[in-house]
Structure 1
Amino acid sequence: MDTPSGAPKPPRSPFDDEDADLVLRSSDGVDFWVYKTILAKASPVFKDMFTLPEAHTERQIVKLDEDAGTLEPLLRLVCPVQRPKFASLRQLRPVLAAAEKYMMPFVATGLVDTLRTFIESDPLDVYAIAYSYQMRDVVVVAARQLLKDPRLASPRSPPPEFDTIPARALHEISEYLRRCARAAVDAVEDWRWMVRENEAHAVYVPKRGGVVDQTKAWVWLVCTDAHKHENTPEIEVFGPALLAYNPPRWWWDYIDRLRRELAIKPLGHLATDPSNIGLSVKKAASCSTCAQSALRELVEYGQMLSKRIDAATAEVCALMTVSIAQ
């Protein structure tokens, strides 16, 4: 049966129990029959709203500002009924706002895992929402996701939370991305590990003089094809002795491409990108010293470097200080 224009709509399952003693009426006229005891336990705001009905057979009616689309999932999170499912952040936002309004912090806590499901598709929005509701762990995970494309941190249409969260939230995410990019590039430019921190390709330097053993060194460090070194930078490694190297152009091309990519996306897996490795190995094929082992060693090097890059950005993440508004 149709409801007369302007009249409240009948309650719908599961908020239609006959013995319920309270009616919450949404802004669009939908009634939710609920229990005062449950609502009073869940929210001090609701508790203060309640008054005794004039007669035992009457239900108290409380009109709310939220529409039915917001109230139903909120009540499903409060009452012992099936939990709601959220298809988008657009559905989640008003529920979080209502929970904050009615002083139900456990609702936001209970929605953390739901919010995490949107990190991959909407990292900046999740970052802004999590920052608003002091979900530090989610803030950090969302920031990590933004590393995959830092340009997402400067969208044409920023999240609505950017109108209310402190300016430092924007500064922190920009600074985080900048530091991660710097840490990733620094990891590439730390030449010491190629010589000293790697057993498979370590260079042995006697403590009291003697001949430096470079038989295990990376092929590009001991390349003897002189014309491949024209106009290439030198590498100096300080340790028990000063070691100087002049890697060939094909290796520097790999490093230069990687540095440019990491400045935009500081992700370790870029070090193992087949297209980047392939371009350099193709050039190495003309080098009499490097041709035979360039592919094998550059793949191995990329795998090791990938871990170092991710470890460097993870350290930045661990040190990330998010000053969530109190």
Structure 2
Amino acid sequence: MADSSTPNTSPQAAVSPDTKPRSAGTPFDSQRPGVDIILRSSDRVDFYMHKFVLSLASPIFESTFIIPQPQTADDGPPVVDLPEDSPTLESILRLCNPVPPPTFTRIADIRRVWEAALKYEMDGVRAGVLVFLDSFLDKDPLGVFALGCRANREDLCQAAATRLLHHSLRSIQSDELRYLSAYSYSKLAEWHARCCDAAAEVTTKRYWFASNGVLSLWEARCQCTNCWLPDHTPSQNRWYACQFVWDYLRRAQGILESSPRSAAITSEDVIGSSDIWYPCTCSSITCGTRYRHYEWERRTIPMILGQNVDRAVSEVRVAVKTISCV
């Protein structure tokens, strides 16, 4: 699902060509020994570099340096003007020099570095900058997916798509969505919908049921119509359960239809309090479910359901390889 197009980077603030250039900070300032080239960013920041290092990192720079560069008025190193802004250029240079790596607070900054590295054919920088996407998987999985598609990185696409199962795809947004093709997004939405269907379907199946204090196979444990109700879902076996069990399954089904993961249905808000799992409405004196708390069942049923939901969704993930780049 890779998008082969390369959109323009976000517009940068215009800087007057008359603005006096300023030196970059350490380790790219003018104090470095052996400096023989200056890279000047679009916002007039000078990075003092070594041609040899840049030539190893980029064949584009290597071919550029074959052409004699004009000397500066003060007999300093020649200057090469670049269209990238100083934060982008500094990140690129940190990734191809033996200095501390850059830090990123936005996916947009990673994207700009990746796009520049693509332009300058800096394969090491392109691969290196994508490592930083891992820290954005929880904050912006859709953004990670978008850049993963453009970079043809199946592992990033899969990781981001899996994180997106924690959300309703209809509600999650990302500024990076503008760089994702309609085709790629449609394949993601298709896979997400299939995961939702697989997860929600588990609530209608009974293969994971087991008899316990609130679930009974073949017969109700009380003849009243308040505490033991039959299952209305077609099944090979006939199950009876307390009303709050069927209510919980309906709540879980509704949630899984948009958020197909176990964590979405095992929270206290979804399961319900202990008071809800307490069948005290029975009119029969002989009913064995009267005046009992079913805390074990309240924990176990959602846990087992969640395990089967995750298993069903994982099978969709393995089967639908088109979620990754093509």
TM bucket, shorter chain: 0.7 to 0.9
After TM superposition, list the pairs within 5 Å mapping 1:180-199 onto structure 2: 180-194=195-209
Distance 1:172 1:45 in 2: 35
1:224 equivalenced with 2:221 (yes/no)? yes
SS in structure 2 at match of 1:138: helix
SS in 2 for 1:278: coil
Corresponding position: 1:322 with 2:316: no
The superposition leaves residues 239-276 of structure 1 with CA deviations (integer Å, 9 ceiling, x where unpaired) of xxxx3234342221111111111112222134433342
Give the partner amino acid of 2:222: D
Determine the structure 1 residue equivalent to 2:96.
78
| Superposed displacement of residue 76, structure 1 | 0.5
Identical pairs, percent: 27
- Could you tell which deviates more after superposition, 175-184 or 163-172? 163-172
Distance 1:52 1:261, change over 3 A: closer
Shift of 1:71: 0.5
Which residue does the alignment assign to 2:107? 89
Distance in 2 (CA, whole Å) between partners of 1:323 and 1:231 is 45
Q: CA deviation at 1:184?
A: 0.9
| Residue 285 in structure 1 maps to residue 285 in structure 2 | no
The answer to whether residue 37 in structure 2 is matched with residue 37 in structure 1 is no
1:235-250 equivalences under 5 Å are 235=233, 237-238=235-236, 243-250=237-244
Secondary structure of the corresponding residue to residue 273 of structure 2: helix
Cα deviation digits, residues 51-106 of structure 1 (max 9, x gap): 26479976332211111121011100011111111122232221111111111232
Matches of 2:87 and 2:281, distance apart in 1: 67
Aligned residue pair count: 295
**Equivalents in 2 of 1:69, 1:176: separation in Å?**
37
1:265 counterpart SS class = coil
- Residue identity matched to 2:22: K
Structure 1 contact 38–79 (Cα < 8 Å) conserved: yes
Give the secondary structure class of the aligned counterpart of 2:156: helix
Does 227-236 or 185-194 show the bigger shift?
A: 227-236
3-state SS of 2:314 partner: helix
- The Cα offsets for residues 81-136 of structure 1, whole Å up to 9 and x where unpaired, read as 11111122232221111111111232232223311101111121122122221222
Q: What TM-score comes out, normalization by structure 1 length?
A: 0.79
Could you tell me which runs of 5 or more consecutive residues in structure 2 were left unpaired when the two chains were aligned: 1-16
**8 Å contact kept, 1:153–1:174:** no
3-state DSSP of counterpart to 1:23: strand
CA contact (8 A) 2:215 2:242 kept: yes
Distance 2:57 2:85 in 1: 19
What is the alpha-carbon distance in structure 2 between the residues aligned to residue 164 and residue 234 of structure 1? 47
Are the counterparts in 2 of residues 45 and 103 from structure 1 also a CA contact under 8 Å?
yes
Q: Counterpart amino acid of 1:69? A: P
Q: Could you report, residue by residue, the CA deviation over 1:136-189 in whole angstroms, capped at 9, with x for unpaired residues? A: 21222222222222246653xx534x4443322111221122111111112222
Gaps in structure 1 of 5+ consecutive residues: 195-200, 202-215
Matched letter for residue 302 of structure 1: P
Mean alpha-carbon deviation: is it higher for 90-99 or for 63-72?
Answer: 90-99
2: distance between equivalents of 1:223 and 1:296?
A: 20
Following superposition of structure 1 onto structure 2, how do residues 1-326 of structure 1 map, counting pairs within 5 Å?
A: 5-15=18-28, 16=30, 17-51=32-66, 53=68, 59-151=77-169, 155=173, 158-160=174-176, 162-194=177-209, 201=210, 219-221=214-216, 222-226=219-223, 227-228=225-226, 233-235=231-233, 237-238=235-236, 243-275=237-269, 276-278=271-273, 281-282=276-277, 284-287=279-282, 288-291=287-290, 292=292, 294-320=294-320, 321-322=322-323, 324=325
* Whole-Å separation in 2 of the counterparts to 1:165 and 1:123: 13
Q: 1:176 to 1:228 in 2, by over 3 A?
A: same
Q: Which amino acid aligns with 1:224?
A: R
Question: When you count helix as a share of all residues, which structure comes out higher?
Answer: 1
Deviations 1:271-296 (A, max 9, x none): 43334242784452334333436332
The answer to which structure, 1 or 2, has the higher relative contact order (CA under 8 A, 6+ apart) is 2
Aligned to 2:8: none
User: Contact 1:126/1:142 (CA < 8 Å) preserved in 2?
Assistant: yes
**Amino acid across the alignment from 1:262:** L
